[in-house]
Amino acid sequence: MSPGRRERGLVRPYVVTDGRAYPTRNTFDLVTLVLAHTDRPLSGLSPEKRRVMELCLGGALSVAEVAGYLELPVSVTKVLLGDLVDSGHITTRSPIPPAELPETQLLQEVLDGLRARL
């Protein structure tokens, strides 16, 4: 129920990508972050690409999120993102690595200590 949602079955994916199934670059992952360049003109972009730009202007979004908001398959989204990278509208960044979690043993000790106290 996100705003601006559209009829999903109306515009088919092959029209969105103009029949292409291969992204121009193979650097996208589900968690690749997409950053928009605000200085690029939006004229001449297809409605989906425009929407990508609008979504990403607020900050970095992952490829999976972009696909979710566009309500398009991830593979189709990758084709669009590849075009946008080529035209210089967006840049991509690999995801931030997850923080290292403390060891289980340490947690266990803390738990024991707490139990002893309470």
The C-alpha atoms of residue 64 and residue 78 are separated, in whole angstroms, by 10
CB of 88 to another protein, least distance (A): 20
Nearest CB to another protein, comparing residues 17 and 92: 17
Q: Is residue 1 close enough to count as binding another protein by CB under 8 A?
A: yes
Near another protein in 21-60, by CB under 8 A: 21-23, 47, 54-55, 57-59
Q: In what order do the strands lie in the sheet with 90-93?
A: 61-62, 33-36, 90-93
Q: What whole-number distance in Å separates Cα of residue 1 and Cα of residue 62? A: 19
Sole binder of another protein in the list 25, 42, 73, 107 (CB under 8 A): 73
Residue 66 interacting with another protein (CB under 8 A): no
Which H helix or E strand runs over 76? helix 74-86
Q: Which is nearer to another protein, 39 or 115 (CB)?
A: 115
The four Cα atoms 87, 88, 89, 95 give a dihedral, to 10 degrees, of 120
Instruction: Note the residues at the interface with another protein (CB under 8 A).
Output: 1-15, 17-19, 21-23, 47, 54-55, 57-59, 69, 73-76, 114-115, 118
